[in-house]
Amino acid sequence: MRHSNFSLVVGGPFHRLLRRVGLIAEDGLPRVHAAVVVAALAWAVPAALAAIQSVVEGTDVGWRYFSDATVYARYVIAIAVMLATERSADGRLDLLVGQFRRAGLVEPGYDAEYKAALQRADRQSSSTIAESVILLGAFAMAQIGVGSAIETAGATWEGALVDESKVLSWPGLAAAFFSTPLFLFLGFRWVWRFVVWSLLLFHFSRLPLRLTPMHPDRSAGLGFLSIYPSIFTGFVFSLSCVMAATTLKQMQFGDIPREELASMLLGWIVFMVVLFLGPLVVFVHKLRTIRDDALLEYGRLANRHHLAFDRSWIASDRDGEELLGSPDPSSVSDLNAGVQIVHEMRIFPVDRFALMQLAAAIGVPLLAVVLARVPLIDIAARLGLGLL
């Protein structure tokens, strides 16, 4: 059951194309097998042409297509994952945007602004103009990418340099005008969704929100936003797979110093974490203001309360046995617990688990690069020595 009419996934020309070919379910989301069908098509078209050209011309250049790691990273893993995660991403986004209203976070009288922000984001995510620009950009980038691959390798399955001119092979033509544009289109479409989502969070942050510093989520009621990074983990995983495969391919053409490789991989992880957690910065000022005000107000209240308790029980000659059954010590404990919650309040609404989940999606594909440089047996040996 949907909680709003907002969706980053449903709508747009590509979505309508998938619907026409039967890859969209009745709920408007891609079917389970849609990712397999599209990824298989992206990989199979250049594969078939590579095999045919190799047989017809009697060369082995086309067979290199089947041993290229970037082919599987882009056309198989990335395309499949980016489509397969649309269903779960849509459900989580629906829960998140609906929570602002269900939890009573939006001040009464601002429902119209809240709905307007959702409607604007829904139009932007399914914009025909946006997808047209994305498609043109994907085609342009594909031509640049194929040309760059040929210049780097001299002769590859995409084509070769002939008299300083780039001549595309049959699978290279398929990659340049179908498979690579499809991969880039899906990737750029996820980037656009991320931009739309970031703008939506910005508009939500500008609404008067009813936040409380005593909320047990330690984020004044915005702790549910920790769910947000998991929405894009599939996309992040896809990007890291392509990054890992590209790095492995570069290592075949030349050795990369260990320090440079380590810096590159660490920089990629840090960049991606900062990028995908960045949209939540829009709530930092509001949460910091609430926390600072609460520290002063609750600190003042605790001080008055504890001074009164001191006068009543410490500075007086009352018998300590009178404390038995008295609610005063309990009120001291409760107030101290409340002040402690305020002190522990986070001004950035993301918990450790969400951060680890995002870092894992980024880092796991990069293990292939690490293992290519440092064999697993060496890593195990070093870990074993470290435990001794």
Whether 44 contacts 131, CB under 8 Å:
no
- Token pair recorded at residue 219: 């984020």
Residues pairing with 166 in the sheet:
161
Distance CA 222, CA 99 (A): 9
Domain residue ranges in the chain: 1-204, 211-388
Instruction: Output the pLDDT for position 27.
Output: 85
Tell me the two tokens of residue 371.
Answer: 């293992």
Given a cut of 70, the residues of the chain with pLDDT beneath it are 1-4, 152-154, 253-254, 312-329, 373-388
Compute the distance between CA of residue 135 and CA of residue 130 in angstroms, rounded to an integer.
9
Contact of 345 with 220, CB cutoff 8 Å: yes
The predicted-structure confidence for 36-56, as pLDDT tens digits, reads as follows: 999 999 999 999 999 999 888
Residue 92: partners with Cβ closer than 8 Å, 6 or more residues away: 227, 228, 230, 231
Count of other CB atoms within 10 angstroms of residue 387: 6
In degrees and rounded to multiples of 5, residue 7 shows phi and psi of -155, 130
Question: How many angstroms separate the CA atoms of 195 and 308, rounded?
Answer: 53
* 3-class secondary structure, 217: coil
Q: 3-state class of 168 per DSSP?
A: strand
Q: For the chain, give percent helix, strand, coil, nearest 5.
A: 75, 5, 20
> pTM of the prediction?
0.86
The residues pairing with 115 across neighbouring beta strands, listed in sequence order, are none
